[in-house]
Amino acid sequence: MTALADDSKDLEAMMTGYIKAYEQGDVKAVSEFYVQNDGIDIWGTARDEHATHLNEVKEGLMRDFKEAKTRITTENVRTFNRGEAGVIVSEWVVDYQHKGSSEWKKIPLVRSTLYAEKRDGKWKIRHAHWSDPNVYHPEGRSFPIDEK
């Protein structure tokens, strides 16, 4: 197996570990997947989810875990890497259960992009972007349809 193939495998394993820690609601464990002493830039699915420091990432995680439990499955995972930099793009299906509710709901598609850098032999996330497709855009259209 080539070094690039090994790195791709390691990147995917890093994402899987991240998801597992996230599903467990473990702020400390999830935080360990990020670069620790450098700039970070994270975009979440909510309008106000933007973090540029690890402490802001932790605050966002605490909010997430206070609101709901999650189960995440991944589809169409693709990795790209060159040297000490790598990107993982994938589609996530997110099942969530609001605290205090017995009902599980589903976000059928969350697009995920994770940019990671190799630090001391381990992949660490520097940038992440999660988005769900705009509900105002009908399939086959790039922009919302104006309501008359």
Chain centroid to Cα 38, Å, comes to 19
Q: How many domains are contained in the chain?
A: 1
Contacts of 60 (CB under 8 A, 6+ apart): 42, 44, 49, 51
- At residue 135, the pLDDT reads 65
Inter-residue contact 21 to 33 (CB < 8 Å): yes
Query: Could you list the residue range(s) of the whole structural domain that residue 53 is in?
Result: 3-131
Instruction: Answer whether residue 144 shows pLDDT above 90.
Output: no
Residues 50-95 have pLDDT tens digits of 999 999 999 999 999 999 999 999 999 999 999 999 999 999 999 9
Residues 6-46 have pLDDT tens digits of 888 999 999 999 999 999 999 999 999 999 988 999 999 98
Task: Judge whether 137 lies within some domain.
Answer: no
Task: Judge whether 142 lies within some domain.
Answer: no
Task: Judge whether 12 lies within some domain.
Answer: yes
Tokens of 17: 């570990």
Q: Report the DSSP pairing between strands 68-82 and 85-98.
A: antiparallel
Task: Judge whether 141 lies within some domain.
Answer: no
Inter-residue contact 128 to 114 (CB < 8 Å): yes
- For the question of whether the overall pTM of this predicted structure is more than 0.85, the answer is yes
The CATH number of the domain holding residue 125 is 3.10.450.50
Task: Judge whether 91 lies within some domain.
Answer: yes
